[in-house]
Structure 1
Amino acid sequence: MQYSELGDSGLEVSEVGFGAWTVGTDWWGDRSEEDAIEMLQYAVDQGVTYVDTGDVYGHGRSEEIVGRALSEVRDEVTVATKVGYDFYNNPQAGHGEIPKQMNPEYLREAVEKSLERLEMDSVDLLQLHNADVSEITPDVLELLDELEEEGKIDATGLALGPSIGWLAEGDLAIEAEFDSVQLVWNVLEQEVGDHFLETIERTGSSTSLIPRVPHSSGILNEQVTPDTELGEGDHRGFRPDAWYETGWEKLEKLRFLEQAGERTMGQAAIAWLLSHDSVASVTPTFRTKADIDEWAAASDVPKLTDEEMARVDELYENDFGIDRDDGMDSLRTSVDGADIESAGLDKLAAD
């Protein structure tokens, strides 16, 4: 495992991190608390020292599990959590999004409750969870500074999602020198990641990017194939059939990234992201110990060559030679499309 600094915070993160959304909910398959703790501890044994959770995952359950699993190795790991969704006063309805609360009073109380569940005096990285650009106010930024001064957090980040987009939000965080921006980014969904790379270069910001969904919801690790039947409640089911069908065709054109005995397609998908200097850690969705064995090793597989990177770029620029709609919605915007227009991504905006 290789390690990177998160922004200029001084925090060290493993290049492959553990997205603990999987251990707090049943959206990626159900597991016992004992199995969840065992998975987390196994990941740490494989060198995974960055663990990313959130208060809304299982309405606090993920944080509780993370706290118990890591209690004996607290000084060896970097723990991130997220706040901003008011699950205390709003029940979860399936996979639907619950109301957010981004005022300083609520956020401070949420942080205190997160620390209690984690059984920690401080959290290494605190991320605002899916905050709109209008919600990241001067008062909220002041609160983040206060929490850092009080020793309750060491670094600040912005976690974007779940839909693709959030350009204005990511740009704001980068320009404000947040330590990290978490985003959906992978070989099949590149526009937003590319845009933030340009913003970082333009501003000279030290912000690190933390990609999630590196396997594009199961296509690039081949856990979702034409023969797969997604179970009821499986989070990957939100993708339309046309998107998967198009994705399988694109996967076949990326087979050149595999190297027998040295680099699997699942590892290549992570290695492609790690080839970008601003990427500090990639958080795949671990479901089993076998996933951990394979993907944690992606930090050490042969790096993608310049020729391989160029070939991926060419394929993507030409939409892999596939002239068919994939059924996905247009990019999300909270500023009436001004961010999409400014980024030159109008073709992905809603009609």
Structure 2
Amino acid sequence: MKYRSFKEEQVAEVGLGTWQLGSADWGNVDEEAALQILEAYTNAGGNFIDTADVYGMGVSETVIGKFLKTVGKKIYIATKLGRRGDDGNGWPQNFTYDAMKRQAEDSLQHLGVSQLFLEQLHCIPTEEMRSGKVFDHLRKLQQEGLIKYFGASVETSEEALLCLEQEGLASLQIIFNLFRQHVADEVFAKAKEKGVALIVRVPLASGLLSGKFTQETKFESNDHRNFNANGESFNAGETFSGIDFKEGVNLSDKIKTLLPDERMAQWAIRWILDHPEVTTVIPGASKISQVDSNVEASDLAPLSADVHQQLRKLYDEQIYNKIRGHF
């Protein structure tokens, strides 16, 4: 595992996304399996885990908290707030200082830590980011010692650029993959100029870029790849990066022909890591074999300039105009 700088810390360039560990929106992952996945990741040298308070409404954070009690080395946990709808909360009530403090305190309790390493806004409405009040609240939480750093997970380049104007922003979490290449053109240089870490989510386009799906692949009823395939429940971009599933299978087959060998998932992550502005990529895993596959990307040699050019040509000519949702 190789590491990259996040402020004064060194974090694994291949992190672990844990939406799956909430046993919601990705099918079921029981606690024992979740703990084994976390152990496999850290045993492979991983030290950066991303979660959110709404992943199973505290389930993902809680299982991570249990795991942290068993680990003898430093693990950096990034969580998120802003999307809860329990106890009468929800938009716009979620974005008062009191509500944000309550959400952060709940995450502290779930994780069993005294300070959150990174608290991120969780794809909140653009107008809330534009007003700037939520960032003032995060700064106050930072001053009070509840959080060490703050960042934002965003849906669009417009939102990313809005956040980059905020003083003290430590990180941006963005969708960036072979089905979403233009983000590098619009955001990366500015993030580098500002010294803001880039955390890449949805790196495998909800599994499409693993190369393992066919036109006949089916998903469980509680898997967002079933119920949100066309953006029925939340932004279509969060599922298959906004690409129609069957179209995505065909495009994945075309991408596969441009890669050095059959290890499509690893090369798709390697392609992301070839961008030096990226701090860490956070593929999820619902089984240990997926952890091993994801981590392997850190050891691969960079793709050649010719392969990068071919992949961008395919994107510009056949993929970009097929993206749906906010991007």
TM range (shorter): 0.7 to 0.9
Please say if residues 33 and 287 of structure 2, whose CA atoms lie closer than 8 Å, have aligned partners that are also in contact. no
Shift of 1:189: 1.9
- Hey, what's the Cα distance between the residues in 2 that align with 1:155 and 1:57? 21
- How many angstroms apart in 2 are the aligned matches of 1:170 and 1:48? 26
| Corresponding residue number in structure 1 for 2:151 | 157
Q: Map of 1:304-343 to 2, 5 A cutoff?
A: 304-319=303-318, 326=322, 329-331=324-326
Which runs of structure 1 show a deviation greater than 4 angstroms over 4 or more consecutive aligned residues? none
Separation of aligned partners in 1, 2:117 and 2:258: 35
Kindly state the Cα deviation for residue 182 of structure 1 after the two structures are TM-superposed. Answer: 0.8
Is the 2:23–2:30 contact (alpha carbons within 8 Å) kept by the matching residues of 1?
no
1:338 is matched with none
* CA deviations over 1:114-143 (Å, ceiling 9, x no partner): 101111001111101112333234443233
Match in the other structure for 1:212? 201
> Any stretches of 5+ residues in structure 2 without a counterpart?
231-239
User: What SS does the aligned partner of 1:16 have?
Assistant: coil
Residue from 172, 177, 181 that aligns with 1:190: 181
Q: Which residue of 2 aligns with 1:170?
A: 160
Cα distance change of structure 1 residues 281 and 214 upon mapping to structure 2, 3 Å threshold: same
Change (3 A) 1:279 1:130: same
Q: In the TM superposition, what is the alpha-carbon distance from 1:56 to its structure 2 partner?
A: 1.1
Question: Residue type of the partner of 1:297?
Answer: E
Amino acid at match of 1:214: P
CA distance in 2, matches of 1:259, 1:234: 31
1:43 CA drift (Å): 1.0
- Shift of residue 267 of structure 1? 0.5
Question: C-alpha displacement at 1:192, in angstroms?
Answer: 3.2
Q: Report Cα offsets for 1:203-252 as digits up to 9, x if no partner.
A: x2111211111111221102322231222122112224982222222222
Q: Which moved more, 1:211-220 or 1:289-298?
A: 211-220
Which residue of the other structure, out of 106, 113, 116, is the alignment partner of 1:113?
A: 106
**TM-score, normalisation: structure 2:** 0.87
Q: Secondary structure at the match of 1:290?
A: helix
Counterpart selection for 2:220 from 211, 231, 234: 231
Q: Select which of 96, 104, 120 maps to 1:103.
A: 96
Q: Given the superposition, is the C-alpha separation of residues 257 and 152 from structure 1 closer, same or farther in structure 2, using an over 3 Å criterion?
A: farther
SS in 2 for 1:80: strand
CA deviations on 1:252-288 (whole Å, 9 max, x unpaired) are 222245434xx71101111111111211111112111
Is the contact between residue 2 and residue 14 of structure 1 (CA under 8 Å) also seen in structure 2? Answer: yes
Aligned to 1:84: 82
The structure-2 alpha-carbon separation of the partners of 1:78 and 1:330, relative to structure 1 and needing over 3 Å to count, comes to closer
Residues paired across the two proteins, number: 312
Code of the residue aligned with 2:149 in structure 1: it is: A
Q: Which runs of 5+ in 1 are unaligned?
A: 92-97, 333-351
Distance 1:223 1:208 in 2: 31
CA change 1:222–1:90 in 2 (3 A) is farther
Q: What amino acid sits opposite 1:282 in the alignment?
A: V
